[in-house]
Structure 1
Amino acid sequence: MKIRALAGVAALALLLTACGTSQSATPAAATQDAVLKVGASPVPHAEILQFVKNNLAKQAGLNLEIVEFTDYVQPNVQLSEGQLGANFFQHKPYLDDFNASKGTKLSFVTPVHLEPLGLYSKKLTDVAALPAEATVAVPNDATNLGRALKLLADNGIITLKDGVGTAATERDVTANPKKLTFKPIEAAQIPRSLEDVDAAVINGNYAIEAGLKPATQALVLEKTEGNPYANGLVVQAGHEKDPNIVKLGQLLQDQKVKDFIQKKYEGAVIPAS
């Protein structure tokens, strides 16, 4: 009986100790030295985050871990599942469409930079030389497809239904004088398909990764004025004010980061105002 009593006391003490530890634990998101794991596309997002990590984060008390992704889906999936604390690869129109179609609750925190969309070709040096019945690769996700079609419309290659803007789909093309064929491809794969088509509309980050220079090699390039497609920091809804998220948002808008972007990317990536 005595042994059982002592065992019971020990078990009770262990239970109380465990409960006490649990009650005093600080949520990871609010701990100053907790690691903030951020998902990012390799170029330019991860490079910008690496600059922040190497030059600004330590002084701000931010412990940053960068996880690279080569697609536009998994960074949001893993953020929604809590495997990431934030991500940095997308613009708000894409995020809004992703939330609506996937039922996620992710929130755009702050814009950082713009990557102008461009039309590229291995066969042409002038957009006027685009032949009849040419094949043009375009991103297959809804927001970037509309953005690509608007780029072509803004440069007189096609005509879109009035007022459709960047919500355009192929059904909204009202005039296609050259009878172009549009080939929807996952955005990350388009640069690899450039040899197989006459021209391709490529997102800025993937163009840079492929060694293309948007400022000089794009046949036509998206205008930056009034452009809603600034890429920015994204978190789970409700975490916008977490201390480490606030710190990272501030650092990404620091003048040193803007100077880094301007120097490194030479107009291919443009700091958000």
Structure 2
Amino acid sequence: MKKGKGILITIVSLLIIIGLIFGIHTLTNHSAKSANSTITVGSQGSDYDIWNHIAKSPQAKKLGLKIKTKQITDGVQLNNATAQGSVDVNAFQSYAYLKAYNQEHKKNQLAALGTTYLEPLGIYSDKYKHINQIPNGATVAIANNPANTARGLLLLQSAGLIKLKKHFGTLGNTTDIASNPKHLKFKEIDDTTGPRVLHTVDVVLISNTVALEGHLNVLKDSIFHEKIDLSTRSNINVLATAKKNRHHKTYQKLVKLYHEPAIQKYIKDQYDGTKVEVNKPLSYLK
């Protein structure tokens, strides 16, 4: 009887040991797979081209990162894809845009991983060469999406053309203008059409991504543009991921990769310095 009991204990002990070995092996394989898995980076426009370059760069290889790029040209769809997991990280939006998206999509929350650059929003005109030449009653074309509408109004305030209400927020609009001494008229446009309407209105606010596609350089062709300061910190672009992945160490390596000197040299040369590097902690944005 004692002998049978001893055999049974031996068998159970062996099964436990085998189970532990198998479990460790599986866990190791899973960890290795996770470490070597491909990160899908979703982007659009010039940022898509940049991340195609980054994905193939020696710097990505050195950090052990395998990157697959995916282009989705609609910002909301790209954020939805990121929140739902078909895209791991996206690279296209300002922090203000991300906050506006989160306010409107309570079930699809995103979080910033790190800062990348400020792509200055510019005020453009075919008719006037200086901001002080803009006449009374001029028509200003402004983006019709919430984040860029607010950003455009803040830029007009910085240029001295309007004054906004004291508690103007990231989703503010033209009803929040406290003073409009030049009696400017506002025309809402799809923000991708800025260069095409430039000759039809007095003034157009154009994001630099769109300006580049229209062969405009914000540093040379605009009559006024954003600078890096506290008033523009919400306009700094970020890498974003689903909120649950905000502490994902592999995803966070993408931030370091973006700021590698060789990558920055490529971006500066390729885009004439219009994507101004911002390497700040996330706390700077808040």
Q: TM-score, normalised by structure 1?
A: 0.83
- Separation of aligned partners in 1, 2:105 and 2:32: 25
AA in 2 matched with 1:272: V
TM-fit CA distance, 1:29:
11
- Separation of aligned partners in 1, 2:126 and 2:115: 32
**Residues 1:140 and 1:236: Cα distance change in structure 2 (over 3 Å):** same
* Partner of residue 48 from structure 2, selected from 46, 49, 55: 46
Q: Is the 8 A contact 1:149 1:166 kept in 2?
A: no
TM-fit CA distance, 1:162:
2.9
TM-fit CA distance, 1:92:
1.5
Counterpart residue number, 1:266: 272
Tell me if 1:117 matches 2:124: no
**Residues 1:183 and 1:34: Cα distance change in structure 2 (over 3 Å):** same
TM-fit CA distance, 1:166:
5.2
Q: Is the 8 A contact 1:160 1:168 kept in 2?
A: no
* Partner of residue 161 from structure 2, selected from 157, 162, 168: 157
Counterpart residue number, 2:75: 72
Counterpart residue number, 1:235: 241
**Residues 1:152 and 1:30: Cα distance change in structure 2 (over 3 Å):** farther
Counterpart residue number, 2:256: 250
AA in 2 matched with 1:216: K
- Separation of aligned partners in 2, 1:271 and 1:225: 13
Equivalent position SS for 1:89 = strand
Deviates further, 258-267 or 112-121 = 258-267
Aligned residues: CA RMSD: 2.4
TM-fit CA distance, 1:47:
2.7
Deviates further, 260-269 or 197-206 = 260-269
Counterpart residue number, 2:225: 221
Q: 1:28-56: CA deviations, max 9, x gaps?
A: 9962332211111221x223212322222
Alignment coverage as a number of residue pairs: 251
Q: Is the 8 A contact 1:109 1:240 kept in 2?
A: yes
Q: TM-score, normalised by structure 2?
A: 0.79
Counterpart residue number, 2:192: 188
Equivalent position SS for 1:74 = helix
Q: Is the 8 A contact 1:138 1:183 kept in 2?
A: yes
Counterpart residue number, 1:126: 130
Q: Please say which structure displays the higher CA radius of gyration.
A: 2
TM-fit CA distance, 1:129:
2.6
Deviates further, 167-176 or 87-96 = 167-176
- Separation of aligned partners in 2, 1:28 and 1:187: 43
TM-fit CA distance, 1:117:
0.8
Q: 1:42-75: CA deviations, max 9, x gaps?
A: 21x2232123222222232222111223332111
The runs of 5 or more residues in structure 2 that have no matched partner are 1-21, 280-286
AA in 2 matched with 1:33: N
TM-fit CA distance, 1:87:
0.4
TM-fit CA distance, 1:123:
2.8
**Residues 1:207 and 1:174: Cα distance change in structure 2 (over 3 Å):** same
Counterpart residue number, 2:92: 89
- Separation of aligned partners in 1, 2:72 and 2:182: 37
Q: Is the 8 A contact 2:114 2:252 kept in 1?
A: no
Tell me if 1:60 matches 2:63: yes
- Separation of aligned partners in 2, 1:193 and 1:270: 26
Q: Is the 8 A contact 2:100 2:171 kept in 1?
A: no
Q: 1:218-253: CA deviations, max 9, x gaps?
A: 111112122312111100112123343122222012
Equivalent position SS for 2:262 = helix
Counterpart residue number, 1:208: 212
Q: Is the 8 A contact 2:96 2:170 kept in 1?
A: no
Q: 1:158-211: CA deviations, max 9, x gaps?
A: 222234265532112122222221112232232332233221111121111211
**Residues 1:82 and 1:127: Cα distance change in structure 2 (over 3 Å):** same
Equivalent position SS for 1:31 = helix
